[in-house]
Chain A
Amino acid sequence: MGVRSGHRRWRFACFGVLAWFSLINVSHAIPAFARQTGQACVACHVSFPELTPYGRMFKLSGYTIGTRQKLPLALMAQFGVTGVRNNRDDQGQKIVPKTDKPVLSAASVFAGGKINDNIGGWIQWTYNNLAGNGDVGHSGIDNTDLRIVGRSDNTDNTDMRWLYGITVNNNPTVQDVWNSTPAFGFPFTTPPNGIGAAAATMLDGQLGQQVAGVGGYVYWKRSIYFELSGYQTADGFFAPLRAGQDIQTPGGVHRLSGVDPYWRLAYNHEWGANSLMVGTYGAILRLYPDNTMPFTPTDRFTDIAIDAQFQHISQLHTYSFQFTRIHESQDYRASYPATLAGVPIGVGPTPANSHDKLITEKLKGTFYFNRQYGASLAVARTYGTADAGLYAPGSVGGSANGKPDTQGYILELDYLPVENLRLMLQYYGYTKFNGSRLNYDGAGRPASENNTVFANLWLVY
């Protein structure tokens, strides 16, 4: 028991750190598009990657507005300094590497733009300088979205009545045009070396670059958007969409069974300098407990989310708000009986309950002056059913009370001296981590010791 508990503790610590690295959510602004349209970044972005109403139309139009470029490439790099309030565990060991000194966290190359008036997209390839345990470089595919689109006009030739298309992508919600959804939600980039929480809902970034989605969407009169997609593990023909992922290591990625549905419905309204969206999205996912054993029974995760976004965009003063709530029902129909029988499926979950719930809530507000000086404040929490089988005690990455609850706030200050350079300062404050505020891991660590400050230079070209 002692050995197993030790292994589990180590596994949680590794998982937490790896989860954090997986959140190096680089990408987003693509100067190749600016070169294609001849427009400035602010035409499409409040601040990259948050989209303006025109940016949303550009994306839904399959990135086809403008002139095809001979060399449709763009580059991005991030250099930053991360500081964790207490980066030593209860044994005095360093938790995450390379803190308190400037590091190149990641660099990306994008190929993106129009192919013709009906086909366009973008592919991102990212070099992560802090992969593995944070000390090795690794490259692989990042977010990708390829589209085929069509349009039909009103009879009076004043506007598009229908804008419709097909998207092929590798991250649920990366295709979405409202920044209340997770893939392009706040924070837009995270510290490359911080301490990650134990739990996150599936649609909150857990499937990125591991799955392939093919979906159809329609946008009617710029007001009603509906999309239906099917996601599957990116195998076979779709394997390039997960290039660079560690699919051989048990627990390295998530693996879906079959084609799983994802839906999205949104209502959009624009008036004056304002726009409002309210919507819902979700997915029903069948997951193999161990990604290297795709022949076992599967667990079923059902994510149902609501979201909303408000934006006011003008030359001098711009502000926006985003909210989302993801409710996840976890049905351990495979893992629970196996755990109960004492024979867990590979390295899969070992839940103490047959069903759990996990909920993610995020609310963020941003203000920009002259599209140059910005401040954002976000509050976020993830909480759910206590399950000691999933969230066991363990130094730093564990939970003393078996709860997945993490909550806190993020404060971000931004300055863009030129449109393709962002200087940013983030502060992550935790009021609860992996279940509680004080001694959350059972080893005496309070949540606030994971508070993190991150100074970052974000360059796109």
Chain B
Amino acid sequence: MMRNSVCLTVIGALLLGIVTTPAAVSGTPPISPSDDAAIKLATQVCSSCHGPGGNSVSPTFPRLAGQQEAYLVAQIQAFKDGKRNEQEAHDYMLGMTTLIDSATAEALARYFARQPVPKGISGNPAQVAAGKKIYEQGIPDQVVACSTCHGAHAEGNGIFPRLADQHAEYIVRQLSVIQRNLRNSPVMHGIIKNLKPEDMKDVATYLQSL
């Protein structure tokens, strides 16, 4: 009887060791149920449009890899609150985000924020140069420099999104819907309300190339 107890204790300890070893060795914090749910969502659902690890191939869907965590949380909430009224938001995201609770939204944001960022796509040099100028210096009396909020390398900051290596077509589309107030972003609307379509294309081409 005693011998059996010892055996069971040893087996139990070994099993416990097997289960606990990876975390103990790697030293990484334990993954919460929300993080688990987020990984499952990201790999099995989000990736269908936003690509593996948030690296989408279709310019209809933004790249999320390396995006600012706070911005992602804010946007999921904006979809849920109906503050994004562009057609794509209604068609693709409104319903999906209503299925996500706050904890999962935060975990999804953490997941995408830590994904490696993709390489930029080079564009027409003249457009890139013109876009760089607008991004870094703005347009006198019209648009302030984008880098003021989005960072010198367009890496974003908190609720100001990362724009580097984003699809140019997506950036133009977003500038357009913000300009038309379809996407509720009062500060940004005020800044770009006079931005011309050709300037949008230039700055988007520059950002996609980063």
Nearest Cβ distance between residue A447 and chain B, in whole angstroms? 43
Complex: chain B residue closest to A161, CB-CB: B43
Q: Which residues of A contact B48 (CB under 8 A)?
A: 53-54, 57-58
Identify which of A40, A54, A158, A159 contacts B49 (C-beta below 8 A): A54
B185 on interface, CB distance cutoff 8 Å: no
From B44, B59, B90, B99, name the one whose CB has the most chain A CB atoms within 10 angstroms: B44
* A65 neighbours in B (Cβ, 8 Å): 44-45
Q: Which of A39, A57, A315 contacts B96 (CB 8 A)?
A: A39
Q: Is the CB–CB distance between B96 and A160 below 8 Å? A: no
The answer to whether A157 and B39 touch (CB under 8 A), given A40-B92, A273-B60, is yes
A88 in contact (CB, < 8 A): no
Residues of A within 8 A of B90 (CB): 40
9-residue interface stretch from B50-58, B138-146, B155-163, B194-202? B50-58
Partner of B47 from A39, A159, A271 at Cβ < 8 Å: A159
Whether A66 is near chain B, meaning CB under 8 Å from some CB there, is yes
Chain B residues whose CB sits within 8 angstroms of the CB of A153 once the complex forms: 39, 43-44
A314 lies within 8 A of chain B by Cβ:
yes
Q: Which residue of chain B is the closest to A158 with respect to CB atoms? A: B53
Q: Is B9 an interface residue (CB 8 A)?
A: no
Interface string of B79-97 (1 = CB under 8 A from A): 0000000011011101110
B42 surroundings in chain A (CB, below 8 A) = 157-158
Residues of chain B lying within 8 A (CB to CB) of residue A66: 95-96, 99
B189 adjacent to chain A (CB < 8 Å): no
- In the complex, which residues 25-54 of chain A have their Cβ closer than 8 Å to any Cβ of chain B? 34, 37-40, 42-43, 53-54
CA distance A273 to B61 in the complex (A): 10
User: What mask results when residues 2 to 42 of chain A are scored 1 for a CB within 8 Å of chain B, else 0?
Assistant: 00000000000000000000000000000000100111101
Chain A: CB-nearest residue to B121: A272
Q: Point out the residue from A42, A58, A151 that lies within 8 Å of B91, measured CB to CB.
A: A42
Residues from chain A with Cβ under 8 Å of B99 in the complex: 38, 66-67
Chain B positions within 8 Å of A157 at CB level:
39, 42-43
Q: Residue on B with the closest CB to A65?
A: B45
The tally of residues in A whose CB lies under 8 Å from a CB in B reads: 30
B58 x A43 contact (CB < 8 A): no
C-alpha gap A156/B48 in the complex (Å): 17
Q: Which residues of A contact B58 (CB under 8 A)?
A: 53, 270, 272-273, 313
**Contact in complex: A314, B96 (CB < 8 Å):** no
Question: With the chains together, A313 CA to B169 CA distance in Å?
Answer: 13
Indicate whether A181 reaches chain B with its CB closer than 8 angstroms: no
Interface size on B, residues (CB 8 A): 28
User: Does A248 lie at the interface of the complex (its beta carbon under 8 Å from any beta carbon of B)?
Assistant: no
Whether B95 pairs with A160 at a CB distance below 8 angstroms is no
A233 contacts chain B at the CB level, 8 A cutoff: no
Cβ of B102 under 8 Å from chain A: no
Is B184 close to A, CB under 8 A?
Answer: no
A66–B98 CA distance with the chains assembled, in angstroms:
10
CA distance A6 to B188 in the complex (A): 79
Q: Are A40 and B91 in touch, CB under 8 angstroms?
A: yes
* Complex-state Cα separation, A159 to B59, whole angstroms: 19
Establish whether residues A37 and B52, one from each chain, have CB atoms under 8 Å apart when the complex forms.
Answer: no
A154 within 8 A of B: yes
Cβ of A190 within 8 Å of any chain B Cβ, yes or no, is no
Residues on the B chain within 8 Å of A39, using CB: 91-92, 94-96
Chain B residues near A54: list those with CB within 8 A: 48-49
Cα-based distance from A447 to B39 in the complex (angstroms):
59
Whether, in the assembled complex, B133 has its beta carbon less than 8 Å from a beta carbon of chain A, the answer is no
Per-residue interface assignment for chain B, residues 166 to 201, with 1 indicating a CB less than 8 Å from any chain A CB and 0 otherwise: 000100010000000000000000000000000000
B147 at the interface (CB under 8 A from A): no
B75 at the interface (CB under 8 A from A): no
Task: Give complex CA distance A352, B96 in Å.
Answer: 59
Q: Indicate which residue in A38, A40, A53 contacts B98 across the interface (CB closer than 8 Å).
A: A38
**In contact, B43 and A271 (Cβ under 8 angstroms):** no
Check A193 for interface membership: any CB of B closer than 8 A.
Answer: no
Shortest Cβ distance from residue B132 to the other chain A in the assembled complex, whole angstroms: 23
Q: Which of A61, A158, A272, A314 contacts B52 (CB 8 A)?
A: A158
What's the least CB distance linking A79 to chain B, in Å?
A: 27
User: In whole Å, how far is A274's beta carbon from the nearest beta carbon of chain B?
Assistant: 8
Report chain A residues within 8 Å CB of B49. Answer: 53-54
Alpha-carbon distance A39/B45, docked complex (angstroms): 13
User: Shortest distance in angstroms between A273's beta carbon and chain B's nearest beta carbon?
Assistant: 5
A57 to B52 CA separation, bound complex (whole angstroms) = 13
Q: Is the CB of A158 within 8 A of B91?
A: no
**A38 with B96: in contact, given A159-B43, A313-B60, A315-B60 (CB under 8 Å)?**
yes
Which 9 A-B pairs rank lowest in CB-CB distance, beginning with the nearest?
A: A38-B95, A159-B52, A158-B53, A40-B91, A57-B48, A158-B52, A54-B48, A39-B95, A153-B43
A-B contacts, 26 listed (Cβ < 8 Å): A34-B95, A38-B95, A38-B99, A39-B92, A40-B91, A42-B91, A53-B58, A54-B48, A65-B44, A65-B45, A151-B44, A154-B43, A154-B52, A156-B53, A157-B39, A157-B43, A158-B43, A158-B47, A159-B47, A160-B44, A270-B58, A272-B58, A314-B59, A314-B169, A315-B60, A315-B173
User: With A151-B44, A160-B47 given, can you name 8 additional A-B contacts, CB distance below 8 Å?
Assistant: A34-B95, A38-B96, A43-B92, A157-B43, A159-B47, A160-B43, A313-B58, A314-B59
User: B-contacting residues of A (Cβ < 8 Å)?
Assistant: 34, 37-40, 42-43, 53-54, 57-58, 61, 65-67, 151, 153-154, 156-160, 270-273, 313-315
